Chains A and B, each alone.
Chain A
Amino acid sequence: MRAEALKGHLDGLLLATLEHGPQHGYAVKEALCDATGGRLDLPTGTVYPALHRLERAGLIKGSWSVVGGRRRRTYELTEQGRRSLAGARDHWQEFAAVMSAALGGGPWPATN
């Protein structure tokens, strides 16, 4: 699946990968790929700008550490991020229900 198809949903997906604990950028990308059975394999380099945007919005918080001699930035959800994730889930369920109803193949209601 291409990144463009995720427009409007990428933030929720990234927040969901951080729900169970802190992760660095590459681990976030791998978690998304694993969780979707490889169908959602975003370019690693484009995950980082999205994480920076979420951090600036106060939804995640980053911190530096040194692992194997390399500087690593790890991200975790903030309280605001948890609330945003819950909102994204509610919004998705509502959206999916509407789309499923519309595309489900049933007859369209008469308009006149």
Chain B
Amino acid sequence: MAGHELIERHLRTLAERLPDPVVDELTDGLLASYDDQMERLGDPDAAAQAALADFGDADSVTAAFIRASSARQAAFTLLVAGPIVGLSWGATIVTANGWTSAIPLSSRLAVGVLLGSAVLLLVTAIRDQRHYRTVRLAALGGAGTVAVLDTVMLGTVVTLVPPPSLLLLVALTGSVARIMLAVRAIPAVIARQ
């Protein structure tokens, strides 16, 4: 790679944070900018500093890629849908006196752990501005956990056959919609490396 130590250091930082194809593309852009600055300024150090100033610092570039990523968008959508579906299930359980059902405590705890994990993973995917891979993995994990959680809720309804109600219908529709959202998001997040 023809370039300058400053440029190479900048690219190494980006390579630690972003996927390889993205880094290849950024490398081409930064080196093209450096070549342009060399033509204008003639001095390697001045050209490298000008190219880097024009390019933007590693934090800004990484944050811009993360903001535009399908992983972060999927995590945001799922997190926003969470309270709506959660409130529907909560209202359904309260009105049907669900806490008196025969569901064992261990199963209830497992659902709680799944819910907590999903929220933690999705919040991580939305809040992290520096680690693209972390955002992607957290979004994938969050989407998978949400799909499992909603499937468990649907399975519970099928098993226990509670009395039908409008609230139950809303909760079931919300869970089905969220499973579809999660399942549709996963291939897009995987495909964008």
Residues of A that sit less than 8 Å from B by CB:
24-27, 29-30, 41, 43-50, 52-53, 56, 67, 70-73
Contacts and interface: CB of A to CB of B under 8 A. Distances in A.
Given A45-B60, A49-B68, A50-B68, A25 B25 contact: yes
B68 A73 contact: no
B67 A73 contact: no
A45 B24 contact: no
A53 B65 CA distance: 9
Interface residues on B, range: 20 to 34
Contacts, number: 74
A48 to B, nearest CB: 6
Contacts of B145: none
Contacts of A71: 24-25, 27-28
Interface of B: 1, 21-22, 24-33, 36, 54-56, 60-61, 64-65, 67-68, 70, 192
A70 B70 contact: no
Chain B contact residues: helix, strand, loop or mixed? helix
18 contacts: A26-B32, A26-B33, A41-B54, A43-B56, A44-B30, A44-B33, A45-B26, A45-B55, A45-B56, A46-B61, A48-B64, A49-B64, A52-B22, A52-B68, A56-B192, A70-B24, A70-B27, A71-B24
Contacts of B55: 43-45
Contacts of A46: 56, 60-61, 64
Contacts of A44: 29-30, 33, 54-56
Contact of A49 (B1, B27, B54, B65): B65
A43 B32 contact: no
B158 to A, nearest CB: 37
Contact of A48 (B26, B33, B192): B26
B73 to A, nearest CB: 9
B65 to A, nearest CB: 5
Nearest to B30: A44
A48 B29 contact: yes
Contacts of A47: 29
A70 B29 CA distance: 10
B29 A25 contact: yes
A44 B32 CA distance: 11
B60 A48 contact: no
A56 B29 CA distance: 20
A101 to B, nearest CB: 35
